[in-house]
Amino acid sequence: MPWLPVNKTGYKKTMKSEESAMLFSALIHDPKSALSYAYDENTLHLRLKTARGEVKEAKVLAVDPFNWIPRGDGTPIYDFDKSSVKHIAMVKEQVTANHDCWFAEIPDINWKRTKYCFVISNDTEKYQIGSRSRIPYSEEDEVLYNLSNYYNYPYINEEDLYKAPEWVTETVWYQIFPERFCNGTPGDERDVLPWGSDALDGYDKKFGGNLAGIIEKLDYIKDTGFTGIYLNPIFKSPSSHKYDTTDYYTIDPDFGDNETFGLLVEEAHKRGIKIMLDAVFNHCGFHHPFWQDVLKNGINSRYYDCFYILDPEKPYYTGELRNGQPQDCPKEELNYRTFAYAQTMPKWNTGNPIAREYLLDVAAYWINEYHIDAWRLDVSNEISHDFWRAFRKKIKTIDPEVYILGENWDNSYPWLQGDQFDGVMNYEFTAPVWNFFGTEEKGALKLHAKEFKEAISSLLTAYPKHVTNNLYNLLDSHDTERILHVVKGNQDIAKLAYIFLMTYPGTPCIYYGSEIGMGGGEHSNRQCMIWEEERQNKELYTLIRILIRLRKEKESFRTENFQWIEGNASADTIIYKKTTPTETLYVVLHKEETSELLSLPQELIGLVCLDPISASEVILGESIELLPYDFRLYTVKHG
């Protein structure tokens, strides 16, 4: 039942709960979370979620809890300075399936501390929402400024702030699976290999790519517009995928040598291209010397506790070795922890001092000796937070501008609070994009525009704004179907997906070959790059190249200030805008197989715009004609 304070410690009943129409059970706010976070040294961001469509207005009352001033009557008594309370209107940031998400920024918190509450209202009711109680709104000072019912952000400590390298948000990544990128000759037999298969290793070594080949293609990568390269593992390993590392300090001979890698970094940097390596620190390969020492010496090995042996009295691996490698076995027979249930990949115990020091030294080595710009952390969510905190301290001490990217497939806020990662691979972005633009993800529902907008709105409010700007957004990767496969080969729909990718906040990535129309399902996504121009989709490539250029040139393509525009469009047409202080970008994506005469929302009618793709001026009328799978981009300058 709602309660109203009669003094600073007591409460009295004012009304029965059934008299309130507000759905208080839908209210969501948590201090020190993605709903309450320090944006910088002097700024706090607050979010409040309310039942969808229920609240008409929301505001924040915020104050320094120590703002007491002398009464001025000659007595040594201090009164609370109610004039110092900030009243800040909240804006409706996003609308999800169940909630309206309200946002406010509290600036100029010079003394670093804040207490706050919310005031929400609709046509008939108004409530004060506090940390302990929600009460009918009152103008009485003892009620409105009762700080015992305020949420508390005790202090903005600078060492706790989330900070990522500034260059990340302006980077467009190109992911390269090195063994398939250069000098390859595609063959049908390669396109059906299961993940991790080495059945054609001999073929791979004859035709596969290498670092020298990547160096030869750096001009192509630069000319396309990419400013970052993410390389799948390149350290010494017996497999083609290289996720079973034997030697973390040595480039695999199939790709070249350390000197060649150093030249790759040097040449990439000359072209303004960053280099990100894959850190496989969850597990190593069966041939890693530490693991081999355990197999030889058992519990007497100094590396025994670097791994997780389940029963030292039993054989450590199951079955016979073939080419020095154990084969798959039932998971019930495994006697050590592994990546998935692969006997070839024993899991590191990163809590062990020897293993920890070794892996941290590896991470430091490639920064100190070869000046890499970023680490992508494989299977990062299965490694302890404690290790990643140590990892960050080590890396950022060497070079604070190194980007730390986790391979997390789910919501990852616990890793993104300033003490571990700078970003994660944003598969939470990939899933709704697939389910809207393409076929449904396995086990998921097909999304239409309404559900898609709700899903994206939920994602946009799942992280602090500056974290969203550093998430690594992707349509496909070496672990997924390619986007052209997802959209069943329809290049026009693929274009729409790429437009959404390149106008969404974060740091986007394109998987090698997807820019020229390479397809491939879950088990055929690592084909050799197609270099013959007559086999490339030049129309798709040209659009992607333009989009990358526009994203680099225009802040409106990159900004996190993203809002949907409602209209009377068909079920699969979406309109949104991206706003900066100097420019607004409007995007219309028509994912329909039929034409449509789209009546424009009022805010677009009569605007004098620039079509950034054609660089031509457009004056918008009351409607535009959209062909099947059509799109429009318009920019409007302010002032």
**Domain locations in the chain?**
3-160, 173-282+351-553, 284-347, 560-637
Residue 80 binned pLDDT confidence (cut-offs 50, 70, 90): confident
- Give pLDDT tens digits for 438-450: 965 566 688 999 9
What's the fold here for domain 3-160?
Answer: Immunoglobulin-like (2.60.40)
DSSP 336: B
Question: What is the Cα–Cα distance from 520 to 129, expressed in whole angstroms?
Answer: 52
The Cα 37–Cα 57 span in angstroms is: 22
Average pLDDT in the 242-269 region? 97
Q: Is the pLDDT of residue 62 over 80?
A: yes
Using the 8-state DSSP alphabet, how is residue 462 labeled? S
Q: Which of 194-203, 319-328, 351-360 has the least mean pLDDT?
A: 194-203
Burial code (b: 16+ CB inside 10 Å, e: under 16) for 338-370 equals bbeebbbbbbbbbebeebbebbbebbbebbeeb
Active-site choice (373, 407, 454, 515): 407
pLDDT value at 437 more than 60: yes
- Among residues 378, 441, 476, 481, the one annotated as catalytic is 378
Contact (CB, 8 A) for 370 and 257? no
Measured N-to-C along each axis, helices 491-502 and 427-437 cross at an angle, to the nearest 10 degrees, of 150
In contact, 283 and 345? CB cutoff 8 Å: yes
pLDDT over 70 (residue 101)? yes
Q: Which pLDDT score is estimated for 427?
A: 97
Q: Tell me, what's the pLDDT at 157?
A: 97
Lowest model confidence (mean pLDDT) among 6-10, 123-127, 235-239: 6-10
- Element holding 636 (H helix, E strand): strand 631-637
Which parts of 340-490 fold into alpha helices (H)? 353-370, 385-398, 427-437, 449-460, 465-468, 483-486
The mean of the pLDDT values for the chain is 91
- 330-342 confidence digits (pLDDT tens): 999 999 999 999 9
Q: What share of the chain is helix, strand, coil (3-state, %, to 5)?
A: 30, 25, 45
User: For residue 433, is pLDDT > 80?
Assistant: yes
Residue 155 pLDDT: 97
How long a stretch of residues is the chain? 639
Identify residue 92 by its one-letter amino acid code: K
**pLDDT for residue 198 is more than 80:** no
CATH of domain 173-282+351-553: 3.20.20.80
Q: How far is residue 396's CA from residue 403's CA, in Å, rounded to a whole number?
A: 9
* pLDDT tops 60 at residue 218: yes
Going across the sheet that includes 608-611, the strands are 562-564, 573-579, 583-590, 631-637, 608-611, 616-619
What is the predicted pLDDT for the residue at 7?
Answer: 35
407 included as an active-site residue:
yes
Of 47 and 570, the one with more pLDDT: 47
pLDDT of residue 201: 37
Average pLDDT over residues 497-508: 98
**CATH classification number, 560-637, choose in 1.10.3720.10, 3.30.930.10, 3.30.70.330, 2.60.40.1180:** 2.60.40.1180
The confidence band for 345, taking pLDDT boundaries of 50, 70 and 90, is very high
Structure tokens at 596: 């449509």
284-347: same fold as 173-282+351-553? no
Task: Tell me how far CA of residue 612 lies from CA of 496, 526, 557, in angstroms.
Answer: 16, 34, 11
Predicted pLDDT of residue 444: 65
Closest among 443, 540, 562, 454 to 493, alpha carbons compared: 540
Per-residue pLDDT at 69: 83
Q: Residues 568-580: what's their mean pLDDT?
A: 90
Residue 573 or 15, more confident: 573
The least confident of 340-354, 512-526, 563-577 is 563-577
Residue 45's H or E segment, with its range, is strand 43-51
Give how far the C-alpha of residue 596 lies from the chain's centroid of Cα atoms, to the nearest Å: 34
High-pLDDT (> 90) share of the chain, % = 86
Instruction: Write the DSSP string, 255-318.
Output: T--HHHHHHHHHHHHHTT-EEEEEE--SB--TT-HHHHHHHHHGGGSTTGGGB-BS-TTS-SS-
H or E element, residue 491: helix 491-502
Strand 151-153 to strand 114-121: parallel, antiparallel, or no bridges (unpaired)?
antiparallel
pLDDT for the residue numbered 598: 94
Confidence (pLDDT) at 184: 45
Determine the Cα–Cα distance for residues 483 and 444; give it in Å rounded to an integer. 17
Q: What is the pLDDT of residue 442?
A: 60
Question: Would the pLDDT of 372 be above 50?
Answer: yes
pLDDT at residue 567, rounded to an integer: 78
Q: What dotted CATH number matches 284-347?
A: 3.90.400.10
Q: How far apart are CA 635 and CA 387, in angstroms?
A: 45
- Note the pLDDT tens digit of each residue in 259-302: 999 999 999 999 999 999 999 999 999 999 999 999 999 999 99
Taking the mean position of all CA atoms in its chain, how far away is CA 168?
12
